[in-house]
Chain A
Amino acid sequence: MLEIRNLVVKIADEDKQILNGLNLTVNDGEVAAIMGPNGSGKSTLSYVIAGKEDYEVLDGEILLNGENVLEMEADARAAAGIFLAFQYPLEIPGVATMTFLKAAMNAQRKARGEAELLTPDFIKQVNAAADALSIDKAMLRRPLNVGFSGGEKKRMEILQMALLQPSMCILDETDSGLDIDALRIVAEGVNALRDKSRGFLVITHYQRLLDHIIPDTVHVMSKGRIVKTGGKELALELEKSGYAAYGEAA
């Protein structure tokens, strides 16, 4: 369970406050969607949860299963079960995707006191996950994300999520850049991971993703706060009327 209480965050080396007392709870087994205008702070929220350093938390707390994660480095948060599928996945030249996947899986296992994965088991798992997401095996031999198309990068994020089996999944605009078929494949990949012990926070601008990944709750974010919470019908409403009612007319 993820609980965020009164989170106030500014950019570390600027006098710019972005999150202004944000409250949000995502229960185990829940799929929560966040929608909100550009610049309202959605990506910032996802970065702060994952442990990026460019921000300063002025107030509030982030609890994962009751434990405050704000003092943890990003790698410790990952080992604790937080996973962020990036809005813009990074290219890492020179690091083969396979090498990276194995390093990541083993690092998390090590942090949890589990034995290293044997290579044949690792390959089996990667192949199965890649097949499920229609990812070409040749891509796994290429340097991580380098020269991947926008959609390929997003699929690679979901592949990582499937392999790392996190308990709290944050998806930042995973639907952007996906064609219609890829959207369905990625959504199926996410749905396959839906589980009563796993929470999802799905950031998106469009209803079409939520047609595939049906949320339990929809939150509206505006100016660094959650300003409205409802069921899946709230997304449909926003699609029609926009954010005008929340003081953010287009």
Chain B
Amino acid sequence: MSVVTPLKTAAEQALSAQFAAAKAELPGALPVRKLREDAFAGFEVKGLPHRRLETWRYTDLRSLLREARPLAATATVTDGVRARLAALALDGVRLVLVDGVFVPELSTLEGLPEGLAVHSLADALVSGREDIARVLSGPGVADADAGLMLNTALMRDGVFIEIAAGTELDAPVAIISLASGEDERAIFHRSVVLAGPSVKATIIEISESAGTAASQINGAIVFETGDESDVQHLRMVTRHAPETVQVQSLLATVGAQANFESFALVLNAGTLRQQYFVRYAGEHTNIGLRGVNLLGGSEHSDVTLVMDHEVPNGTSREMFKSIIGGEGTGVFQGKVIVRQHAQKTDGSMKSNALLLNDGASMFNKPELEIFADDVVCGHGATVAQIDGEQLFYLMARGLPRPQAEALVLQAFAGEAVEFVQDEALRALVMTEIEAWLSLREASSVVSAI
């Protein structure tokens, strides 16, 4: 049998060289070093994910990453970074990463609420915690992903959050990850949220750029949440240069009788792949993954998720709404696995897209892999245009076409946004959506003149 070694691309070769040069200085005690080595070895076998892989079919990272940018090793705190932090309307605890590196001076570390402990990921990696390898690995369904392997090998920093059993946090904890955007860099960061039993918390994750240079970002967040916990996650990926290429992985292991809900808003994000690997570790747990993607120009947004129902009585809800204009491309690949013993699983998966013009496209691929016999699972995927009858009705009442369209689009997105539990955050998301729509409205008025 002959072994075919595929030719490495320039970017893959550069990544190998970068890993070889950086591995000695990347943070980590012995078990972490081994984890990095193994992950990179795994990556080298697979190479950058490409379109012949089922799970990366619509986002060919191999061709998107023609060159691997130099690794960002330090935080470049520019005036732009400070200005953006000042402008962000967010209450609660702020944990700031700049170029993937935790910046304590910009973060709220004093007067943290009781039960909340925060460290930098780099500190956690060198701390010698016994569970570190397990915590970082997340659900088994994530093991084979080359994008994640690369993150494991090259992650430099992030935040490590622990929330003690029974803690109920009143205000959200925000992980604000800004690329300085001064130079084209590659940023690898990972954060961890360990929430004990009966914890109630809201975690916000923001990914933005404060400058104009396009970054290559590979971020990951790992959640491990205990029994009877209720953890809400809001991610906003905005204000990136159009040439940005970004992979964001979310790994979650959720305990019994718990609630875990994640919402992601994507707009002005260049090329983005969000991937979710979620495992039900206990029964009677509800997990919801939702999001809104607003795409224009040549933007690309891929949402790929795997929900692994290992135990009975789990509920899963996925709802993604995409509004796609220009030459934008949306991708939704959702796989719900219901293992043999996971009876009484109740799953519902929806991906709905509205295409605003001819050049826009959407690929929907919902999948159910069901091995149990007593389950209720369904999915619905639609690709449509704005309803002409609705539009006429609104226009017949005097709304100019762009405004009538904006109203319909806002309502379409709103059906997912309404699941953001925190009222202030829901309003924040809606404000971003309205701003995007009104820019579109304004530009279509100009083009009509």
Could you list which residues of chain A lie within 8 angstroms of chain B, going by C-beta atoms? 50-54, 73-75, 77-79, 83-84, 86, 89-90, 92-95, 99-100, 103-105, 107-108, 111, 143, 160, 164
Contact = CB atoms under 8 A, between A and B. Distances in A.
Contact of B393 (A90, A99, A143, A164): A90
A72 to B, nearest CB: 11
- Residue of B392, B403, B410 with most chain A CB atoms under a 10 A cut-off: B392
Interface of B: 388-390, 392-401, 403-404, 407-408, 410-412, 414-415
A111 B411 contact: no
A164 B415 contact: no
Contacts of A77: 396
A89 B398 contact: no
Given A52-B392, A90-B393, A94-B412, A108 B398 contact: yes
B396 A51 contact: yes
16 contacts: A50-B396, A51-B395, A54-B388, A73-B401, A74-B392, A75-B398, A75-B404, A79-B398, A94-B414, A94-B415, A95-B407, A95-B410, A100-B394, A100-B397, A103-B399, A107-B403
Please list the 10 inter-chain residue pairs (A to B) with the smallest Cβ-Cβ separation, ordered nearest first: A94-B411, A74-B395, A78-B398, A108-B398, A90-B393, A104-B397, A107-B398, A75-B395, A94-B414, A95-B411
A143 B415 CA distance: 12
A74 B393 CA distance: 9
A93 B390 CA distance: 10
A75 B393 CA distance: 10
Nearest to A79: B398
Contacts of A92: 390, 393-394, 407-408, 411
Contact of A160 (B395, B397, B411, B415): B397
A84 B396 contact: yes
Given A74-B392, A92-B407, A107-B400, 19 more contacts: A50-B396, A52-B392, A53-B388, A73-B395, A74-B395, A75-B395, A75-B404, A78-B397, A83-B396, A84-B396, A90-B389, A92-B390, A94-B412, A100-B407, A104-B397, A105-B398, A107-B398, A164-B397, A164-B398
Nearest to B413: A94
A160 B388 CA distance: 20
Contact of A74 (B396, B411, B415): B396
Contacts of A75: 395-396, 398-401, 404
B407 A103 contact: yes
A93 B415 contact: yes
Nearest to A52: B392
Contact of A111 (B392, B396, B398, B401): B398
A107 B394 CA distance: 11
Nearest to B393: A90
B400 A53 contact: no
Contacts of B398: 75, 78-79, 104-105, 107-108, 111, 164
B393 A86 contact: yes
Nearest to A86: B393
Nearest to A96: B411
Given A73-B401, A92-B390, A107-B400, A78 B411 contact: no
Contacts of A83: 396
Contacts of A93: 411, 415
A36 B393 CA distance: 24
A90 B390 contact: yes
B402 to A, nearest CB: 10
A84 B392 CA distance: 11
A187 B122 CA distance: 74
A66 B80 CA distance: 58
Output the residue of A78, A84, A99, A105 with the most chain B CB within 10 A.
A78
B107 to A, nearest CB: 37
A53 B399 contact: no
B410 A94 contact: yes
A103 B403 contact: yes
A51 B401 CA distance: 12
Nearest to A166: B398
